[in-house]
Amino acid sequence: MTTTADTGRKAAVVSLRDATLSYGKRTLWSGVDLDLCPGEFVAVLGPNGSGKTSLLRVLLGLQKLTGGQLEIADRRIGYIPQQRAIDPTITLRGRDLVALGFDGHKWGIGLKGMRERRRRVDEAVRAVGATAFADRPVGLLSGGEQQRLRVAQALVSDPEVLLCDEPLLSLDLAHQRAVSELIDKRRTEADTAVLFVTHEINPILPLVDRVLYLVDGRFRIGTPDEVMTTEVLTELYRTQIDVVRVRGQILVVGAHGAMESGQPHHLGGPTDLAL
């Protein structure tokens, strides 16, 4: 795993300085300083509405900061969206979905460009183990198969930065592990920086270098051992929170009991996990 000390010696590919994002009178977060370095895996955690996905939108250029500065050293950015159901009547093939990540719906790339496009798509499909179903309609594939193709779509542009918006959502444990390993393989082999928004840290805990935890405009950045503590989460949530580690897993205990690697019950229901 790439350590924080190692990545600290590399030039950041994404840099936020005193970053603030507000909607009207509501401030999602402010004063955020974050350097994302090559090969680093940063998990973004927090309850729904804390601004996790909005942070990705800022980095994708879809949302402007209210204040502060953003610098991105390389514009080769890959994006993996949340797992969502696809209409089974859609006839788009898996490899066609992946190809959209290469050409962005552009036309007129020429014969040479078409050959390069085909090569890159085939390479990305092989990298995620999707060759066997790449020519099948996307709508007929399982959730895990679809998400593998979304990973391939993000990788086909050879990104320097990989932005992941809850890519494990709605996947079973086996598919969560498979998708996590694909993302980690990319960052270790190509030194790609990963910013990974998630509700659950346990499936990716062995991969994570640092955590950015957002709660009601407050935040903390550090290693999992520094952030995922009783003291830090109690301060962020402004109520008593206990963090328990069991067999390498993190459990968060609040006023109404514990949830598997999730936020305390009084902060949200089972579908509104904080980690």
Half-sphere exposure of 90 (CA within 13 A, CB side): 14
> Could you read off the pLDDT of 58-72 as tens digits, one per residue?
999 999 999 999 999
- State the pLDDT at residue 125: 93
- State the pLDDT at residue 104: 61
In order of start, what are the domains of the chain with their CATH numbers?
1-76+159-229 (3.40.50.300), 91-156 (no CATH)
Q: How far apart are CA 30 and CA 28, in angstroms?
A: 7
Is the pLDDT score of 141 beyond 50?
A: yes
Confidence band (pLDDT; 50, 70, 90) for 32?
very high
Is the pLDDT score of 34 beyond 50?
A: yes
Percent pLDDT > 70 in the chain is: 85
- State the pLDDT at residue 271: 30
Is the pLDDT score of 74 beyond 50?
A: yes
Q: What is the mean pLDDT of residues 134-153?
A: 92
